[in-house]
A and B are shown apart, each in its own frame.
Chain A
Amino acid sequence: MPGEHEAPAKPAATVETLHAVRRLAAVNPEAAAAGLAPGQALAEARAICPELDVLDADPGADRAALARLAAWAERYTPLAAPDVPDGLVLDITGCEHLFGGERGLAADLSARLIRAGLEHRLAVAGTRGAAWALARAATARGTCIHAAPGAERAELSPLPVALLRLDARLVAGLRRLGLRSIGELARQPRGELTARFGPTPVQRLDQAHGAAEEAIAWPRAPEPWEARRAFAEPIGTADDLTRALAALAAPLCARLEAAERGAHRFTAIFLRVDGARPAIAIGTSLPGRDAPHIVKLLAAKLGEIDPGFGIDAAILTAEDIAPHRPPQRRLDDGREAATTLAATIDGLANRIGPDHIWRTEPYESHVPERAVRRVPPMTATRPAWEYDPSAERPIRLLRRPEPVEATALVPDEPPILFRWRGALHRVRAASGPERIAAEWWRRTMDDSRPETDLVRDYYRVEDTEGARFWLFRAGLEGAPRWFLHGLFG
């Protein structure tokens, strides 16, 4: 995979610098035919094949490409991982029947890789170690090798020991003892092998034979709450995608219901023919498993999906799973109303974003800006507000107080006229002051602004038109500065 570039008819190779020597990292078929092989020094390669095209190897890009390929391979199974530097490992247990068995899956994968211009060798076996060895032992490119169940031991036996994923040092050591094939290695006493070479050769042997477990680092943890579907023909129209969502949501929601669970988040991933994976996600304020509702919310976002040349598989996952009891039917429709409300709020939240829809609850603070806190719109209990006639509050509170030019007869009294946003207001009546001090425990000490500077004296004033404003005078010392902070209804 790495190092193979777009169909050059000429011999080509990528080059890396190892110990100050430029060596070939990968070669294309033409170069291999000319007798070049990875690991050769560049100078030697040029001597053999003067017309060689040389490119710098980019291991980072190779790894990224491999990761993309692994993500694409999730079309076959959720367990697909890159096997650095040049392989993919897929656990197809339980998935192969969707593609007509192991052979069908391998043929489909192979055909798609060939169409994408990727040279590959493919093996299906009972263990990762065996599949690894068989794929790399294959001589012809693109071959599919199927180890019959239980036949791994026999098939591996003639292969060289290097195919047990052993490093070069170990392979050289084994070769000095005359152990060249896996079969020969398997016949040696295990204790002596371990004493001489450490645990690795025996462990690799057991893993290849299926006698030892092997943990594979899948890029995604096995995700139980998901449904997937591959389509016979690529689809692309909104109607088809909606139908696909409905077909995915029904079994997933049935499973959630059987487990008395609901999810707060549903994600639909569409696997496009060209390998892209556009996805849409929705959230629900109550744990949800109502398939039509979820499909409706997802369908509203289908506009974001570019089907490209078609979508040939789709995955629906449920995340943030929470226990959710089956709805209890009651004679009054209280619960029904709550469900309707939750559905309405979900619809809005998914359209305009969950941060833009909220309820407010009182917060223990006498600073007006901080006396209100946002909470999610669907909470178990309604926030409890109490009317306090002694502290009348404006209906509109400006985000930040705006300075006004005010004229007061006596510094300690409310102004008789003030100018706000260009309009002059004559004060007809006023009440106050209500003194509100800053919450000193929230501040860091700052000598330049004394505590008295943060005291605000609030007045409710009414102008001659009847409009009512919430003004405050800042600070206790110096020239009074006036601000407008809110408007009464």
Chain B
Amino acid sequence: MREQMMNISPIPAALRAQLAALQPPSGHGVWPFGAPAVDACLPGGGLPLGVLHEVSAMGIDVEAGASGAGFLACLVGAIARGREVFWIGPAVADLHPPGLLTYGLDPGRLVMVETRDDDASLAAMEAVLRAGGAGAVVGEVGRLGRVAARRLQLACLKHGTTGFVLRRWPHGRKPMAEEPIAAVTRWEIAPAPTAIIAGTPGPARWRVRLVHARGGFEGGWIMQAREGDHDGPHPLRMVAGLAAAAAAPDAGRTRSAS
């Protein structure tokens, strides 16, 4: 599939090599989602580690940041591999540790950092990323400027710690106009109706859209959290691709315009 896309791409091979040289060398490996449809959209066949990712919420979740937090808990729980996870933001006090267990993130290794505002959150994220030693860093940030994102990206590269920015706007504040993307990937997460079992809601499902992946492609899928204990290989399962109306015409596969 990927090869087909490359063949029809108008970018010549020499230019492609030049573009690849401009990419920051992460060299810290990737974390595959395990679903070929998803991994094919990501450079290197999985979520790049040791770089900065951005997750924004959609709809009602812009304010509460619940779906994004659930999706991120699945990711960082697997990526951190037993190391400490820092969760930073002005409103982290509402993060409920027993709820994280559902997604396979052990609250015992979670260090919560409550900051005063976005600038303090970004500074704290950068400090932890630069120090190294953490399994992953999640920052709940409203406004993320291009310079700030670039600084975080460089801090990630220093020790290969993966950073996530969860875009979250406090109650009553309006999201600002979109800034240009400086992170390696940007995801948009919205809740999706779950599989109803005997009239009760099933495991969490998300409408996941990969709206930007440097060196990769856009895409959209429905993903579901694994239930119960997470001894299994993967905390996330792809349920379906997003319908044509929700993503790109060819079932969510266009060249990312970066």
**Is B196 within 8 A of A382, CB to CB?**
no
Q: Which of A83-91, A137-145, A183-191, A351-359 contacts B (4 or more CB under 8 A)?
A: A351-359
| A347-B107 CB under 8 A given contacts A462-B201, A467-B61 | no
How far apart are the CA atoms of A486 and B64 in the complex, in Å? Answer: 10
Question: Chain B interface (Cβ within 8 Å of chain A)?
Answer: 59-61, 63-67, 69-71, 73, 83-84, 93-103, 106-116, 120, 123-124, 127-128, 131-134, 171, 190-194, 196, 199-201, 204-205, 207, 225, 227-229
For B84, list chain A residues within 8 Å (CB): 341
* A165 CB to nearest B CB, Å: 55
**Is B112 within 8 A of A359, CB to CB?**
yes
**Is B108 within 8 A of A382, CB to CB?**
yes
The answer to whether the Cβ of A466 comes within 8 Å of any Cβ in the partner chain is yes
For A200, list chain B residues within 8 Å (CB): none
The answer to whether the Cβ of A238 comes within 8 Å of any Cβ in the partner chain is no
How far apart are the CA atoms of A446 and B110 in the complex, in Å? Answer: 39
How far apart are the CA atoms of A359 and B29 in the complex, in Å? Answer: 29
What would be 13 A-B contacts, judged by CB atoms less than 8 Å apart? A340-B133, A344-B128, A348-B127, A359-B110, A387-B228, A393-B99, A393-B101, A395-B69, A399-B94, A423-B60, A429-B199, A465-B60, A466-B193
**Is A361 within 8 A of B108, CB to CB?**
yes
For B69, list chain A residues within 8 Å (CB): 395-396, 489
**Is B102 within 8 A of A360, CB to CB?**
no
The answer to whether the Cβ of A394 comes within 8 Å of any Cβ in the partner chain is yes
**Is B99 within 8 A of A397, CB to CB?**
yes
For B229, list chain A residues within 8 Å (CB): 387
Q: Contact partner of A393 among B98, B132, B200, CB < 8 A? A: B98
**Is A344 within 8 A of B66, CB to CB?**
no
**Is A466 within 8 A of B192, CB to CB?**
yes
Q: Contact partner of A344 among B120, B123, B131, CB < 8 A? A: B131
| A489-B124 CB under 8 A given contacts A357-B112, A399-B93 | no
For A352, list chain B residues within 8 Å (CB): 113-116, 120, 124
The answer to whether the Cβ of A430 comes within 8 Å of any Cβ in the partner chain is yes
- For A343, give the chain B residue with the smallest CB separation: B131
* A149 CB to nearest B CB, Å: 56
For B205, list chain A residues within 8 Å (CB): 466
The answer to whether the Cβ of A314 comes within 8 Å of any Cβ in the partner chain is no
1/0 per residue, CB under 8 A from B, across A309-349: the answer is 00000000000000000000000000001001101110110
**Is A356 within 8 A of B67, CB to CB?**
no
**Is B98 within 8 A of A489, CB to CB?**
no
Task: In the A-B complex, list the 10 residue pairs whose CB atoms are closest, starting with the nearest.
Answer: A489-B70, A431-B200, A487-B66, A395-B99, A393-B98, A397-B96, A340-B133, A466-B191, A344-B131, A466-B193
**Is A387 within 8 A of B97, CB to CB?**
no
**Is B108 within 8 A of A464, CB to CB?**
no
For A398, list chain B residues within 8 Å (CB): 94
For B116, list chain A residues within 8 Å (CB): 352
**Is A396 within 8 A of B113, CB to CB?**
no
How far apart are the CA atoms of A358 and B132 in the complex, in Å? Answer: 19
Q: Contact partner of A395 among B95, B111, B120, CB < 8 A? A: B95
The bracket for how many chain A residues form the interface is 35 or more
**Is B60 within 8 A of A467, CB to CB?**
yes
The answer to whether the Cβ of A383 comes within 8 Å of any Cβ in the partner chain is yes
For B106, list chain A residues within 8 Å (CB): 385
Which interface residue of A382, A393, A489 has the most chain B CB atoms within 10 A? A489
**Is B201 within 8 A of A393, CB to CB?**
no
How far apart are the CA atoms of A358 and B64 in the complex, in Å? Answer: 22
**Is B113 within 8 A of A389, CB to CB?**
no
User: Interface of chain A, helix or strand or loop or mixed?
Assistant: mixed
How far apart are the CA atoms of A429 and B200 in the complex, in Å? Answer: 5
Q: Contact partner of B102 among A371, A430, A489, CB < 8 A? A: A489
- For A338, give the chain B residue with the smallest CB separation: B133
For A360, list chain B residues within 8 Å (CB): 97, 107-108, 110, 112
**Is A396 within 8 A of B66, CB to CB?**
yes
Q: Contact partner of B114 among A357, A372, A429, CB < 8 A? A: A357
How far apart are the CA atoms of A489 and B128 in the complex, in Å? Answer: 25
**Is B134 within 8 A of A341, CB to CB?**
yes
* B99 CB to nearest A CB, Å: 4
**Is A384 within 8 A of B108, CB to CB?**
yes
Q: Contact partner of B124 among A351, A362, A430, CB < 8 A? A: A351
**Is B113 within 8 A of A466, CB to CB?**
no
* A296 CB to nearest B CB, Å: 11
How far apart are the CA atoms of A368 and B196 in the complex, in Å? Answer: 25
Q: Which of A389-420 contact B (CB under 8 A)?
A: 389, 391-399
* B61 CB to nearest A CB, Å: 7
For B124, list chain A residues within 8 Å (CB): 348, 351-352
For A486, list chain B residues within 8 Å (CB): 96, 99
How far apart are the CA atoms of A243 and B171 in the complex, in Å? Answer: 46
The answer to whether the Cβ of A428 comes within 8 Å of any Cβ in the partner chain is yes
Q: Contact partner of B73 among A392, A464, A489, CB < 8 A? A: A489
**Is A340 within 8 A of B131, CB to CB?**
yes
**Is B97 within 8 A of A372, CB to CB?**
yes
For A361, list chain B residues within 8 Å (CB): 108
For A146, list chain B residues within 8 Å (CB): none
The answer to whether the Cβ of A209 comes within 8 Å of any Cβ in the partner chain is no
* A285 CB to nearest B CB, Å: 11
For A383, list chain B residues within 8 Å (CB): 107-108
Q: Contact partner of A468 among B93, B110, B134, B191, CB < 8 A? A: B191
The answer to whether the Cβ of A421 comes within 8 Å of any Cβ in the partner chain is yes
Q: Contact partner of A487 among B64, B109, B134, CB < 8 A? A: B64
**Is A358 within 8 A of B112, CB to CB?**
yes
**Is B94 within 8 A of A387, CB to CB?**
no
- For B98, give the chain A residue with the smallest CB separation: A393
How far apart are the CA atoms of A425 and B218 in the complex, in Å? Answer: 31
- For A373, give the chain B residue with the smallest CB separation: B97
Q: Which of A439-482 contact B (CB under 8 A)?
A: 460-462, 464-468
For B131, list chain A residues within 8 Å (CB): 340, 343-344, 347
For A356, list chain B residues within 8 Å (CB): 113-115
For B115, list chain A residues within 8 Å (CB): 352, 356
| A387-B114 CB under 8 A given contacts A430-B201, A488-B66 | no
The answer to whether the Cβ of A126 comes within 8 Å of any Cβ in the partner chain is no
The answer to whether the Cβ of A377 comes within 8 Å of any Cβ in the partner chain is yes
**Is B98 within 8 A of A371, CB to CB?**
yes
For A391, list chain B residues within 8 Å (CB): 98
Kindly list 9 other residue pairs between chains A and B, CB separation below 8 angstroms, not including A368-B98, A393-B99: A337-B133, A348-B128, A358-B112, A382-B109, A396-B94, A467-B61, A467-B191, A488-B99, A488-B204
How far apart are the CA atoms of A468 and B110 in the complex, in Å? Answer: 24
- For A389, give the chain B residue with the smallest CB separation: B228
